[in-house]
Structure 1
Amino acid sequence: MKKVKVAINGYGVIGKRAADAVTLQDDMELIGVCDIITDWRIKIAVKNGYPVFAFNDEFRKQMENAEIQVQGNLSDLITKADIIVDCTPKNIAAKNIEKYKESNLKFIVQGGEKHETTGHSFSAENNYGTAIGLQSTRVVSCNTTSIVRTLTALKKAGLLKKARGTLLRRATDPWESHLNGIMNTMVPEKDIPSHQGPDAQTVDPDFDVITAAVKVPETLSHLHYWNVELTRQVSKEEVLEAFRSSTRIALIDYSAGLSANNAIKELMLALNRPYGDMYEVALWQDMLKVEGDELFYAYVVDNQAIVIPETIDAIRALTGIEENPQNSIVKTNKSLGIKQKFYD
């Protein structure tokens, strides 16, 4: 089997996870990671045996002065790759894509970039097929990924009419919590809808969805509360069956001791997940409530991990090595250990 040669630009929170995930695929080869840093983070890439590239000559010199073995610059990495996943900080990728386009290289950007950067936004269970053969796509953000997953499950079951959600957003990534973030306060996003609702519509314009968001002083995960108007009156079990149709939604129980996001994080560590990551949407089934044609539910989102399986599927879609969405999803789920039940 010919393997797709994958490059990663940006070896940070998402990039290191994407790199690790690529190495688990039998149809992909990680040919290098690119960054500008010289600290412990890029040294982990070296320890893992990943070929390291610098963004340009200036940063290459800094890396070599820090005794980091460098294989070349970004331009060299581009010539070796079939596709590049840009995991650089928000708004940086938009400046890099001209390099990718000049080399006729397929590329993926992350949800911090605008939809217009690629003209296509991706979520595997919703629109995998529309990405096949494109030059580029954008894997939507962590919160948007969770929104699209859950609403797609309801839509496919013929239950979704409109959705209204409130997002409690973590303040910063855990490793940066000593540098920035908030303490002893909450910061509402001033615009309603917050950007996640319109972002979900870039994947599926049929969604009637409005979101509001509040930044809260914690770093473990995001928490969503949703009120959905259904197309008809249904039972709770019918709603749960709709959510079970998604292989990337895990139903959990408040009554099983999973009553807070720190408990869910501890569960991921107990399962020996890399970095304690959770790729699934963890949705409380015993909290879920149906009143007539109204549905109320809540779930937790791991913003460092949820986009990783989507990124792997996006690689397959753009390169065309797997045209069947379900085949790709199954393969990705198996490689990452994605489950619908965590402890049964």
Structure 2
Amino acid sequence: MIKPIRVAVNGYGVIGKRVADAVKAQKDMTLIGVADVATDWRTRVLQTKGVPLFAATPKAFDELRAAGRRTAGQLDDLLGEVDVIIDCTPKHVAADNVPLYRARSLKFILQGGEKHAVTGHSFVAEASFETAVGRQATRVVSCNTTATVRTLSALKRAGLLQRARGTLLRRATDPWESHKGGIMNTLVPEPEIPSHQGPDAQTVDPDLDVVTMAVKVPETIAHLHYWSVQMTRPVDKEEVLDAFRSSSRILLMKDAYGLDALNAVKELMADRGRSRGDLYEVALWADMLTVQGDELFYAYMVDNQAIVVPETIDAIRALDGRETSGRRSIAATDLAMGIDNDLFAGNRV
């Protein structure tokens, strides 16, 4: 019997706690433990789940003990027990942890807050799984970049993509931190065109002709993207929808469903029993999608807290190297996490 991949998560925040739960749901993985520095409700909740807690720093070890948290050791102890570490610590902290992972020849995954150069590889399962197989490290790109690559890759696989231009309406902060900051009664344009998401998508697929513009908006539920795509030839709308249907991680939503806004989609995910109401897919309004000759226009929603979670699971398998097929890994992850591009059984778009 093949032993499961031994996985650890460093950082139990917005992404880390979701990744930890997703690892536990996989048949071919086992969650060895989680490292963190927090002494508040976050690590209290973690320990109610029976997951071993390790102190991410020596200082945190003393603080966690003082706060009454049961610790299984420090980060170095955890690293000695695992095959793959997923670093979900805040931006730039992960890059500082990389020497620890490399010193142990440990396979590691970073998140999109770090630069491509730190790992030399950027990951979206449908676009770059095979090039990650057996590597020591990869970087799962940001939520916005993940959505961009997913949708454009679907068009590219269908032979329809020539170039793409997108406008991103970006949530101001994560919902759980909305009391600490964010913006109100204003919009904040990202100061450069292209915004960073387009060049970031090209770290996954250098062949993408993509330009993005972004603006921060005063809400926290999710991001909203609008895209204008020059296709390789004139097509009808159904051919475009078929291209998007080729991805299990793109949801096509009919107007008849009444999913008129971001909050309605999140409520649907909660009603479907998704953990934390998470939307792992790109949720694209199918009836809004418009084709004019060889031009394509569409819009979709991106759950900034959840979309990268299935990608991270696939990245674990890629680095481990026992699974060499992105298609098979995606199918296994989707099954374990209840991902299906059919919103309602038997009611395909």
- The question of a shared fold, defined as TM-score above 0.5 by the shorter chain, is answered with yes
Secondary structure at the counterpart of residue 80 of structure 1 = coil
Residue by residue over 1:98-124, the C-alpha shift from the partner in whole angstroms, topping out at 9 and shown as x without a partner, is: 000001100000000000010000010
Q: Is the 8 A contact 1:129 1:317 kept in 2?
A: yes
Separation (CA, whole Å) in 1 of partners of 2:268 and 2:155: 27
Percent identical among aligned pairs is 62
Aligned position for 2:28: 27
- The AA in structure 2 aligned to 1:281 is V
Separation (CA, whole Å) in 1 of partners of 2:109 and 2:44: 24
**1:165 maps onto 2:166 in alignment:** yes
Q: After TM superposition, give the deviation of residue 65 of structure 1 in Å.
A: 1.0
Separation (CA, whole Å) in 2 of partners of 1:32 and 1:20: 11
Residue by residue over 1:124-159, the C-alpha shift from the partner in whole angstroms, topping out at 9 and shown as x without a partner, is: 001100000000000000000000000000000000
Aligned position for 1:291: 292
Separation (CA, whole Å) in 2 of partners of 1:58 and 1:251: 48
Separation (CA, whole Å) in 2 of partners of 1:219 and 1:144: 18
Q: After TM superposition, give the deviation of residue 215 of structure 1 in Å.
A: 0.3
Separation (CA, whole Å) in 1 of partners of 2:56 and 2:316: 22
Listed as ranges, the matches of 1:135-154 within 5 Å are 135-154=136-155
Aligned position for 1:106: 107
Separation (CA, whole Å) in 2 of partners of 1:278 and 1:24: 16
Q: Is the 8 A contact 1:252 1:341 kept in 2?
A: no
Listed as ranges, the matches of 1:135-284 within 5 Å are 135-284=136-285
**1:83 maps onto 2:91 in alignment:** no
Q: Is the 8 A contact 1:322 1:328 kept in 2?
A: yes
Listed as ranges, the matches of 1:112-151 within 5 Å are 112-151=113-152
Secondary structure at the counterpart of residue 44 of structure 2 = helix
Separation (CA, whole Å) in 2 of partners of 1:320 and 1:45: 29
Residue by residue over 1:216-256, the C-alpha shift from the partner in whole angstroms, topping out at 9 and shown as x without a partner, is: 00000000000000000000000000000011001012342
Separation (CA, whole Å) in 2 of partners of 1:6 and 1:259: 39
- The AA in structure 1 aligned to 2:20 is A
- The AA in structure 2 aligned to 1:178 is H
Residue by residue over 1:161-211, the C-alpha shift from the partner in whole angstroms, topping out at 9 and shown as x without a partner, is: 000000000000000000010011110001000000000000000000000
Separation (CA, whole Å) in 2 of partners of 1:12 and 1:220: 17
Q: Which runs of 5+ in 1 are unaligned?
A: none
Q: TM-score, normalised by structure 2?
A: 0.98
Q: Which runs of 5+ in 2 are unaligned?
A: none
Q: After TM superposition, give the deviation of residue 277 of structure 1 in Å.
A: 0.1
Separation (CA, whole Å) in 2 of partners of 1:108 and 1:96: 11
Separation (CA, whole Å) in 1 of partners of 2:312 and 2:125: 9
Listed as ranges, the matches of 1:34-45 within 5 Å are 34-45=35-46
Q: TM-score, normalised by structure 1?
A: 0.99
- The AA in structure 2 aligned to 1:228 is V
Aligned position for 2:309: 308
Separation (CA, whole Å) in 2 of partners of 1:285 and 1:58: 51
- Pairwise CA RMSD: 0.7
Separation (CA, whole Å) in 1 of partners of 2:138 and 2:46: 25
- The AA in structure 1 aligned to 2:333 is T
